Chain A
Amino acid sequence: MPSENIKEIDRTILIDIYRRANLIYRADEKFRATILAGELQIIYYSPRGQEILSAALMAAINQDDYLVTTYRGIHDQLAKGIPPKELWAEFSGKATGTCKGKGGPMHITHPATGVMVTTGIVGAGLPIANGLALASQLEKDGKVTVVCFGDASTNIGAFHESLNMAQIWKLPVIFVCQNNLYGEHTPQAMSTGCKEIIDRAPGYGIRGVQVNGNDAFAMYHAAREAVDYARAGNGPTFIEAKTFRFFGHLLGDDSHYIPEEEMSAAKRADPMPAFRAALLDRQIPEAELDAIDADIAAQIAEAAQFAIDSDYPGEDEIRHDVLEAEIAA
């Protein structure tokens, strides 16, 4: 989907998207290096390639709007505004993490920035997103809920139940399928009966939009329209945002199941340098972008060090937060 007839975005928002995207990019780069150096032993789902999608999407909503995301979610979490220090500490299992080290990379929660649930179960976030949106509808608080999930989630039952319920109740929820074309190691065409994932939307009577998620301009405007539609009380939107992931399902996976020409074409179309070039084309000074990069690099270094310096939770922590009351020792 080439971006003919580009709809422009305000300069401040462009810079905002750039900042969010580069925070993801630098954080991912650092995480991969740390993990591959053996300094951190975690299962890691790299968001490399999906930065622009998240950054443009989150720039279109407010910090107090709700987000539900999935285990490949670090791009969504950072773009939504979770402080890198707390996120880093949580990924490292430390007591200073967002969830006191009790959730870990696949279960990030940070209500202060609207990140309500990160699930490790494919498709399970959608029904919960409906509940958040139902609360907003009842409260009339004007908030929207964005739920992100992969293409493979559209083959699980929860997806179908959720789109149907959201549509009959006109819930202010935006379902964002980050279609990176592979569910684990299986290409979309092998796992999905309909030609395009967006084809699922009409079956539920839900507003559907297919967009190139790697194009910040298209992604931002698609998200804004969905947000405006939801806030106006018109109901949900299903967005299929096409993207690609450069480091396989999980870090260490050699992506042998992706044809070489497909991978090299995707890398040639890497959305990160493309977006930077788009900003330079719009006469945004390179020095301004470099200054943002430097600031982000410092933030990431500080976050990584914070995680190293932080303590692990005390063993007693296992008896807290199971139920409201402390579990007896």
Chain B
Amino acid sequence: MSTESETVKAAAKPKRINFTQACVMAMDEAMAADPRVILLGEDIADDQGGGVFGATKGLSSKYGTDRVRSTPISEQAIIGAAIGAALVGYRPVAEIMLMNFITVAMDQVVNHAAKLRFMSGGQTKVPITIRMATGAGVGFGGQHSDMLEAWFAHVPGLKVVMASNPADAKGLLLACIQDEDPCLFIENTSSYGVSGPAPEPGYIVPLGKAAVAREGSDVTVIGYGTAVGKALLAAKTLEAEGVSVEVVDLRTIAPYDEAAVLASVAKTKRAVVVHEAVRNFGVGAEISAMIHENLFSVLHAPVERIGSAYSPVPFSPVLEKAFLFKQEQIEAAIRKTMNH
């Protein structure tokens, strides 16, 4: 029984969590609800630190190291083990420390996880979740920072998800774990400590559904992950200039919410697509093409695309900054659509 003062103290607690806590919360809820949810990954058990970013902290102590397994540095073996267990009823969550490391396991992801449901004629399925951190801006250089979502979005059979805030991270990760298809859940390395309003227990965000992060009437900015925060800041700047910006947060990159994008752009008649990934051949190209195909006759301006520079992610802070997409670029793109 809690005393009155403890209750007051608890109620007064600011209900905020960061991305790391959001991940822990999602996996904790999923594991509590389903004994067949297991975690695999390098250093994820508490004796090894609970994950290099702390995103599995406490889970091996709570659920045991049978269900929360630290693995050798063997990405193919990690993803293969997840796939095999998933084929017979488990819901494994594999942590691939950094997204670049998934390249080592591409065969397992692309040739197996993505295709076994189809190639078996629906006799088997692969309900795995692959969690990966990535993103530039933290000085990790060329092999620890790439945003590779477009590769996976191009493979039929995979779902690709990235949250823009901790509550969504919790809700989307839980949805990935419960989903019947293989999901890649992208976490942003520099955002783990970023906090936001805490969701209620059980909070889940359906896959394939975008959110309107900010309502507006003149131009729609479409993004996901770190792009959403920058788009919201750009929207504030433009508001001062008398431009009303709507921000659509995709939340699921593949399959993305076409209807939500089209509904917003049909209203604003202008669109800017933004992502941290390199602009060339990026997700922005697909969304831009889709908007043009559907709304060409009503658009007031061509769809603008913002992404990072065509370069490996550089190490030197000066170059890394030059590489990364910027809020100012989003603002300039919005103005361009307004002045067309």
Instruction: Return A135 CB to nearest CB of chain B, in Å.
Output: 4
Binds A, one of B81-89, B219-227, B324-332: B81-89
Instruction: Return A147 CB to nearest CB of chain B, in Å.
Output: 10
In the complex, the answer to whether A127 meets B88 with C-beta atoms within 8 Å is: no
Instruction: Return B77 CB to nearest CB of chain A, in Å.
Output: 4
For A324, list chain B residues within 8 Å (CB): 117, 125, 179-181
The answer to whether the Cβ of B339 comes within 8 Å of any Cβ in the partner chain is no
In the complex, the answer to whether A321 meets B156 with C-beta atoms within 8 Å is: no
Give residues of chain B (69-112) contacting chain A, Cβ–Cβ below 8 Å: 69, 71-72, 74, 76-77, 79-90, 92, 107-108, 111-112
The answer to whether the Cβ of A209 comes within 8 Å of any Cβ in the partner chain is no
In the complex, the answer to whether B81 meets A107 with C-beta atoms within 8 Å is: no
In the complex, the answer to whether B123 meets A99 with C-beta atoms within 8 Å is: yes
For B116, list chain A residues within 8 Å (CB): 109, 117
Instruction: Return A52 CB to nearest CB of chain B, in Å.
Output: 28
Q: Which of A134, A157, A158, A320 lies in contact with B84, CB distance below 8 A?
A: A134
Give residues of chain B (173-187) contacting chain A, Cβ–Cβ below 8 Å: 179-181
Q: Give the A-B contact count at a CB cut-off of 8 A.
A: 150
Q: When each residue 246-275 of chain A gets 1 if its CB lies under 8 Å from chain B and 0 otherwise, what string results?
A: 000000000000000000000000000000
For B79, list chain A residues within 8 Å (CB): 127
The answer to whether the Cβ of B284 comes within 8 Å of any Cβ in the partner chain is no
In the complex, the answer to whether A132 meets B76 with C-beta atoms within 8 Å is: no
For A127, list chain B residues within 8 Å (CB): 76-77, 79-81, 83-84, 108
Binds B, one of A29-37, A160-168, A216-224, A292-300: A160-168
In the complex, the answer to whether A124 meets B112 with C-beta atoms within 8 Å is: yes
The answer to whether the Cβ of A98 comes within 8 Å of any Cβ in the partner chain is yes
In the complex, the answer to whether A99 meets B119 with C-beta atoms within 8 Å is: yes
In the complex, the answer to whether B84 meets A99 with C-beta atoms within 8 Å is: no
The answer to whether the Cβ of B38 comes within 8 Å of any Cβ in the partner chain is yes
The answer to whether the Cβ of A279 comes within 8 Å of any Cβ in the partner chain is no
In the complex, the answer to whether A133 meets B122 with C-beta atoms within 8 Å is: no
In the complex, the answer to whether B157 meets A323 with C-beta atoms within 8 Å is: yes
Give residues of chain A (143-183) contacting chain B, Cβ–Cβ below 8 Å: 145, 157-158, 161-162, 164-165, 168-169
The answer to whether the Cβ of A291 comes within 8 Å of any Cβ in the partner chain is no
For B151, list chain A residues within 8 Å (CB): none
The answer to whether the Cβ of B66 comes within 8 Å of any Cβ in the partner chain is yes
For B156, list chain A residues within 8 Å (CB): 322
- Given A98-B121, A103-B119, A130-B84, are A157 and B66 neighbors across the interface (CB < 8 Å)? no
For A129, list chain B residues within 8 Å (CB): 80, 84
Instruction: Return B254 CB to nearest CB of chain A, in Å.
Output: 10
The answer to whether the Cβ of A128 comes within 8 Å of any Cβ in the partner chain is yes
Beyond A116-B88, A135-B88, A322-B157, 7 additional pairs, beta carbon < 8 A:
A99-B119, A119-B112, A131-B81, A131-B84, A132-B87, A158-B76, A323-B255
Q: Which residues of B contact A (CB under 8 A)?
A: 38, 66-67, 69, 71-72, 74, 76-77, 79-90, 92, 107-108, 111-112, 115-125, 156-157, 159, 179-181, 255
* 9 CB < 8 A contacts A-B: A102-B119, A107-B120, A117-B124, A127-B77, A131-B81, A138-B38, A158-B76, A323-B181, A324-B125
